[in-house]
Amino acid sequence: MSVIGEAPNAHAKIKTYHHDQISIDMHLLNKITLLLLLSSVGHSFAQPLRWEKVASGIWMTKAGNPDSVNFLTAGGVKPKMTAINAMPDVPFPLSEGEISYKLVDGKVYLRFPLETAEKIFGLGLNFKTVEQRGRIMRLHVDHYGGKDNGRTHAPVPFYVSSKGYGVFINSPTYIDVWVGTAVRKDSKNPPQVRDRNTDKSWDASPYSDNVEILVPAHGTEVYVFGGPTMLKVVERYNLFNGGGCLPPRWGLGFWHRTPTLYSDKDVSAEVAEFKKRNFPLSVIGLEPGWQSKSYPCTYQWDSQRFPEPAKFITDMNQRGVQVNVWLNPFVSPESELYGPILPFTASHTVWTGVVPDYSLPAARNLIASHFQKYLLNMGVSGYKMDENDGYDEWLWPDVTTFPSGHSAEQMRQLYGVMMQKMTAELYRKKNLRTYGLVRASNAGATSFPYVIYNDYYSHPDFITALINSSFIGVLWTPEVRGSATAEEWLRRMQTVCFSPLAMLNAWSDGTKPWSFPEVEKQVFDVAWLRMQLIPYLYTSYAEYTFFGTPPIRAMNLEEGFTSSTEAVAGEVSSAENPYALAIKKEIKDQFMVGNSLLVAPLFAGQKERQVVLPKGKWYDFYTGKLAGEGEIITVSGLDKIPVFVKDGAIIPMAQNTDPQPGSSAKVDLEIRHYGTKNGNYKLYDDDGVTFNYENGAYSWREVVVSRKADGRLTGSITQVQKGKPDSFGKVTWNFMSR
């Protein structure tokens, strides 16, 4: 009941209970500290927060007494201060007086203002909605369960406002957020009182002028990010989280995962089939059966299915294919790792495996050595880290204790982040980049080379997740597994080829890219288009790394995109909708890839769809023809996924592709220009596989397309400085909208 308001720099966080006696265990007396306790029952008073500027356009405050464990410490995040401070400065984007903070029963209550018509984005990897105003969430790492209620693979406690600012709660706890739903009695802008009996404009969700946040911890750091645009807010957030990851170039190629019990010979035959069909393949993924035991895991090769793993991997590499392996966190009693790791594991087991406390250096070192021995040293390129998210049934309960003393709740929120950090560092030590998959992520993991995936399998919702990933500093793949029809198969393949990780995951279904002969050609085409786009995609990732710009992103982050969200009045129905709840209609099925491509997938059964083109002229990617200008157009067709290009855009495309790491073969470029405007572009290049770019071994090559005196377009590209990596060969210019 005690409610104690507290200034951020006060150091007393205290509570008392009413008892006549104090009885304590005497042998603990040497641990005793004297403290003054406030008895303050039933009081609740707000205290102002003191904001400290930590970088250009970024402010921090401490509400209460934060724990030392948070997203930034768990992720070992090094903010990219130079890049942030190179951004234009902006003033504190909110009225400080309208932000309120209280400590109640040892929990932090926060309130931020909302203006009329202000829109809120982010707050985790949501699958059904892009705008979050009007929603109530408990941010909780979990499998996505079909509702945007905060339980998801990356419930990042960060939101971006259409007013051009962002708020980040740096607490790895189950944070409750009321996004424009809570209405205070003392609201400055109270909703109108209406009578449901007779007033047709009665609303089941009255207007709320705030975001309220309950952090179940005795304190938390809170960050505010300035813009002025939403994209700038996101860039600042991403840079503050260490900047986006830069995958190895091969990571942007085509991935295929084989059925779980495939042997080395089965995999080899599958790869041969890809080669025979000239289907691109950069990475082959091995599912649980590579291990001697899985669920729980040994992280050791099965001697039957993979008798000579090093040889197998070398063979794969020689065929231009990287090997990625599945694992989950739970260690089998039959693993060599089991005995040593046992003291550093949780009180509970999952699937009979012990749960390492990844926050302990001793645990991490043991796992690192084991992975080094069985995986890295044999040439494994990376991991698919499964089941570090939930469901509750398949994770440790919240009554679990960990040897580090971190709570099960903190461990749940951070486990994916910590696994990413540990494994990313393993590769960094070898000066090799990795790229892989993870099921759980969160704030603090932006710089880690992992893409989120899940079991959920709605194609439209997969696109919405792709859009939402761009607000919260994570990557998402709408992986393809199976399909009911050839049409669905193609539609899904088209989408995944315009995503952070183009993967067919056949672990259970045994599908192949050519499983639907009716659309084999179209699938082949879009997979190769993916390969051709690697120079463009890789540059987009470099922008993510250097400038925090999400490589794939929501239309809402695009300048000139205006789309009003319609609230359609709901019909009252005693069975279906007793409160006549309004239904929100919003654009959640088109997105940007890099700065210039607008992708608008169709879904199985859709004969046509509408595409909202932002301001300016947009051109058809395939033909270069004008598609529209700041308008809504209708598109159709099965063979090709609709893609539109910004006026003046420059798209560098590979003419021959060689995703083999370390290859010295040059890739010839076709540089496309679309529209009528002059084009300016910076093409990123480095060695594609190491971290040498962090020490300057990279270049941004200036690409310019301009109109000559005779009206004809002409292109130029600067040379790579001597001594720096130079991946590209011959350049061909293609002015698409001539």
Query: Nearer Cβ to a second copy, position 40 or 317?
Result: 40
Query: Nearer Cβ to a second copy, position 103 or 667?
Result: 103
Does 626 contact a second copy by CB under 8 A? no
Does 714 contact a second copy by CB under 8 A? no
Does 340 contact a second copy by CB under 8 A? no
Contacts by 260-265 with C-beta closer than 8 Å and gap 24+? Answer: 260/287, 260/288, 260/289, 260/507, 260/508, 261/289, 261/305, 262/286, 262/287, 262/289, 262/305, 263/304, 263/305, 263/306, 264/305, 264/306, 264/307, 264/308, 264/309, 264/312
Query: Nearer Cβ to a second copy, position 176 or 221?
Result: 176
Does 583 contact a second copy by CB under 8 A? no
Residues 426 and 615: their CA atoms lie apart, in Å, by 45
Does 575 contact a second copy by CB under 8 A? yes
Considering only 170, 345, 470, 657, the residue that binds a second copy (CB under 8 A) is: 345
Residues 390-409 that bind a second copy (CB under 8 A): 392-394, 396-401, 403-407
Query: Nearer Cβ to a second copy, position 235 or 487?
Result: 487
Q: Which residues contact 160 (CB under 8 A, 6 or more apart)?
A: 120, 121, 122, 166, 230, 233, 234, 237, 471
Token reading at 407: 């709570």
Query: Nearer Cβ to a second copy, position 487 or 647?
Result: 487
The answer to whether the bond into 155 is cis (omega within 30° of 0) is no
Does 604 contact a second copy by CB under 8 A? no
Query: Nearer Cβ to a second copy, position 356 or 449?
Result: 356
Residues 506-525 that bind a second copy (CB under 8 A): 507-509
How many residues form the binding site for a second copy (CB under 8 A)?
A: 118
Q: Where are the beta strands (DSSP E) in 603-712?
A: 608-612, 617-620, 626-629, 632-636, 643-646, 650-654, 667-673, 679-686, 698-707
Residues 165-204 that bind a second copy (CB under 8 A): 176, 178, 181-186, 190-198, 202, 204
Does 571 contact a second copy by CB under 8 A? no
Query: Nearer Cβ to a second copy, position 511 or 545?
Result: 511
Closest approach, Cβ 246 to a second copy, in A, equals 31
Selected range binding a second copy among 292-300, 470-478, 513-521, 668-676, rule: CB under 8 A: 292-300
Query: Nearer Cβ to a second copy, position 348 or 428?
Result: 348
Query: Nearer Cβ to a second copy, position 18 or 276?
Result: 18
Q: Where are the beta strands (DSSP E) in 630-688?
A: 632-636, 643-646, 650-654, 667-673, 679-686
Residues 18 and 388: their CA atoms lie apart, in Å, by 42
Closest approach, Cβ 322 to a second copy, in A, equals 23
Closest approach, Cβ 235 to a second copy, in A, equals 31
x/- contact string, 447-466, with a second copy (CB under 8 A)? --------x-x---------
Query: Nearer Cβ to a second copy, position 151 or 232?
Result: 151
Question: Within 10 Å of residue 571's Cβ, how many Cβ atoms?
Answer: 10
Residues 506 and 530: their CA atoms lie apart, in Å, by 19
Q: Which residues contact 18 (CB under 8 A, 6 or more apart)?
A: 39
Selected range binding a second copy among 64-72, 82-90, 157-165, 683-691, rule: CB under 8 A: 64-72
136 within 8 A of 124, measured Cβ to Cβ: no
Distances (CA, A) of 208 to 113, 138, 182, 189: 9, 19, 6, 8
Closest approach, Cβ 445 to a second copy, in A, equals 22
Residues 51 and 226: their CA atoms lie apart, in Å, by 13
Token reading at 437: 């998959």
- At residue 711, φ and ψ (nearest 5 deg) are 90, -10
Residues 524-563 that bind a second copy (CB under 8 A): none
Residues 438 and 444: their CA atoms lie apart, in Å, by 14
- At residue 705, φ and ψ (nearest 5 deg) are -120, 125
Closest approach, Cβ 583 to a second copy, in A, equals 14
Report the length, in residues, of the chain: 738
- At residue 714, φ and ψ (nearest 5 deg) are -140, 150
Query: Nearer Cβ to a second copy, position 343 or 637?
Result: 343
Considering only 67, 148, 235, 264, the residue that binds a second copy (CB under 8 A) is: 67
Does 238 contact a second copy by CB under 8 A? no
Radius of gyration of the chain (CA): 27
Considering only 65, 161, 322, 494, the residue that binds a second copy (CB under 8 A) is: 65
Full strand arrangement of the beta sheet holding 165-170: 52-55, 58-64, 219-226, 165-170, 158-161, 120-122
Does 3 contact a second copy by CB under 8 A? yes
Closest approach, Cβ 188 to a second copy, in A, equals 14
Query: Nearer Cβ to a second copy, position 316 or 354?
Result: 354
Query: Nearer Cβ to a second copy, position 32 or 709?
Result: 32
Query: Nearer Cβ to a second copy, position 44 or 678?
Result: 44
Residues 286 and 326: their CA atoms lie apart, in Å, by 6
Considering only 1, 117, 569, 665, the residue that binds a second copy (CB under 8 A) is: 1
Query: Nearer Cβ to a second copy, position 31 or 276?
Result: 31
Does 570 contact a second copy by CB under 8 A? no
Closest approach, Cβ 682 to a second copy, in A, equals 41
* Secondary structure element (H or E) that encloses residue 455, with its range: none
Considering only 57, 93, 296, 356, the residue that binds a second copy (CB under 8 A) is: 296
Query: Nearer Cβ to a second copy, position 493 or 669?
Result: 493
Nearest residue to 337 (alpha-carbon basis) of 326, 353, 361, 349: 353
Residues 477-506 that bind a second copy (CB under 8 A): 481-482, 505
Which residue type sits at 157? Answer: P
Token reading at 121: 């984005």
Selected range binding a second copy among 55-63, 102-110, 229-237, 548-556, rule: CB under 8 A: 102-110
* Bridge-based pairing state of the strands 382-385 and 322-327: parallel
Write down the residue that tokens 């390492």 correspond to. 356
* Bridge-based pairing state of the strands 283-286 and 322-327: parallel
* Bridge-based pairing state of the strands 597-599 and 436-438: unpaired
Does 303 contact a second copy by CB under 8 A? no
Does 48 contact a second copy by CB under 8 A? no
Does 638 contact a second copy by CB under 8 A? no
Closest approach, Cβ 23 to a second copy, in A, equals 5
Does 150 contact a second copy by CB under 8 A? no
Selected range binding a second copy among 18-26, 520-528, 590-598, 689-697, rule: CB under 8 A: 18-26
Closest approach, Cβ 336 to a second copy, in A, equals 15
Does 31 contact a second copy by CB under 8 A? yes
Residues 403-442 that bind a second copy (CB under 8 A): 403-407
Write down the residue that tokens 């309220």 correspond to. 212
x/- contact string, 653-682, with a second copy (CB under 8 A)? ------------------------------
Residues 350-379 that bind a second copy (CB under 8 A): 350-352, 354
